[in-house]
């Protein structure tokens, strides 16, 4: 795997993630929906139970990689099930939060502070399960990273992704408007302390001519780090095309679920009535 040669844009997005979470790790841990919302947590717990059953392995002999695992939302759940976990993330601040969580229940996991592409290309370890939770939209080149992950899986190993957005260009205008309104409501009511700084960051981007559609022109700084870190959020991910490409890599697709999801339950119900799928999750397997 020594032929890993990330592009300049890939490296810039990776560095944006490091800088962004250096600023916002505590805010993320306290308010991010996929970490704090009971509905999201219940879905994740149920999926992990099914995945362990599908693997056919006892949790105690399962080696898992929580890729871009942040503050350990998935890692802790796997550790409580007896799984051997390695958590890799580019943010030392998020990893420190995770280590603090591990102190109380006396569970331990290996943590590696590294960019995920570099880790996957350099490690000689293999895993029975690799998880990307709320992570793919942070990766400039998703297919390339999941290809590296394929080679780090044991035969019959599983790769699970969750909490990523579908292609927004294929959503109804009403759904896109609801998502925009919900984002502002989330900042106002759930990240109130960050609201003044968020307004200033947006004003600085507007003043410098930076927008979501012109990310390649953006200079990486404190105002643009979040925009670049969540690289695919505004446009979403074409999950149908991604799955087709992953089949050519060699993956078997066990799940490809597309569904309406949102930070707030009311928004989710409206989007569901509109018939749009705003999120997707995958369970892929490396053949024997």
Q: Assign residue 238 the CATH number of its domain.
A: 3.40.50.150
Helices (H), the chain: 8-31, 33-36, 38-55, 73-80, 92-103, 116-122, 142-151, 173-189, 195-208, 225-229, 239-249, 265-274
CB distance 116 to 144 below 8 Å: no
Q: Is residue 177 part of a domain?
A: no
CA torsion through residues 120, 250, 236, 7, sign: positive
Tokens of 87: 């958590």
This prediction has a pTM of: 0.96
What one-character DSSP code corresponds to residue 91? Answer: -
Residue 165 belongs to domain spanning: 8-169+232-285
Q: Is residue 221 part of a domain?
A: no
Q: Is residue 92 part of a domain?
A: yes
Task: Look at residue 9 in the predicted model and tell me its pLDDT.
Answer: 94
Task: Look at residue 2 in the predicted model and tell me its pLDDT.
Answer: 56
- Beta-sheet pairing, 153-165 with 252-259: unpaired
Q: What is the pLDDT of residues 25-44, one digit of tens each?
A: 999 999 999 999 999 999 99
Cα 248 from Cα 101, distance rounded (Å): 39
Question: Which is nearest to 230 in space by CA: 163, 132, 138, 115?
Answer: 138
Tokens of 88: 């890799």
- Beta-sheet pairing, 127-133 with 63-67: parallel
Q: What is the pLDDT of residues 6-31, one digit of tens each?
A: 999 999 999 999 999 999 999 999 99
Which residue, chain included where needed, has tokens 């799940």?
255
CB distance 152 to 128 below 8 Å: no
Q: pLDDT 10s digit of each residue in the chain, 288 long?
A: 457 899 999 999 999 999 999 999 999 999 999 999 999 999 999 999 999 999 999 999 999 999 999 999 999 999 999 999 999 999 999 999 999 999 877 788 899 999 999 999 999 999 999 999 999 999 999 999 999 999 999 999 999 999 999 999 999 999 999 999 999 999 999 999 999 999 999 898 888 888 777 787 788 999 999 999 999 999 999 999 999 999 999 999 999 999 999 999 999 999 999 999 999 999 999 999
Cα 79 from Cα 203, distance rounded (Å): 43
Tokens of 79: 């550790």
Q: Is residue 262 part of a domain?
A: yes
Q: Is residue 219 part of a domain?
A: no
Cα 201 from Cα 118, distance rounded (Å): 30
Question: What's the total number of domains in the chain?
Answer: 1
């Amino acid at each position: 795997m020594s032929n890993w040669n990330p592009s300049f844009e890939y490296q810039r997005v990776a560095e944006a993630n490091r800088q962004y979470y250096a600023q916002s790790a505590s805010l993320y841990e306290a308010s991010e929906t996929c970490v704090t919302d009971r509905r999201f947590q219940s879905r994740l717990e149920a999926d992990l139970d099914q995945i362990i059953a599908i693997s056919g392995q006892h949790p105690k002999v399962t080696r898992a990689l929580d890729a871009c695992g942040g503050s350990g939302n998935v890692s802790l759940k796997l550790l409580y099930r007896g799984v051997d976990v390695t958590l890799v993330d580019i943010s030392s601040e998020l990893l420190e939060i995770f280590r603090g969580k591990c102190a109380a229940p006396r569970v331990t996991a290996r943590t590696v502070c590294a960019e995920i592409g570099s880790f996957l290309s350099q490690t000689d370890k293999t895993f029975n399960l690799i998880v990307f939770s709320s992570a793919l939209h942070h990766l400039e080149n998703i297919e390339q990273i999941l290809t590296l992950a394929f080679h780090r899986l044991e035969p019959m190993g599983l790769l699970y992704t969750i909490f990523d957005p579908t292609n927004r260009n294929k959503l109804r205008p009403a759904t896109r408007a609801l998502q925009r309104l919900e984002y502002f409501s989330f900042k106002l009511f759930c990240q109130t302390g960050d609201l003044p700084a968020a307004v200033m960051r947006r004003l600085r981007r507007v003043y410098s001519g930076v927008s979501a559609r012109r990310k390649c022109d953006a200079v990486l700084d404190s105002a643009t780090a979040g925009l670049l870190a969540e690289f695919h959020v505004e446009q979403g991910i074409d999950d149908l095309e991604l799955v087709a490409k992953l089949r050519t890599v060699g993956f078997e697709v066990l799940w490809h679920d597309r569904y309406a999801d949102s930070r707030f339950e009311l928004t989710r119900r409206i989007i569901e009535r509109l018939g749009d799928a705003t999120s997707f999750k995958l369970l892929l397997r490396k053949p024997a």
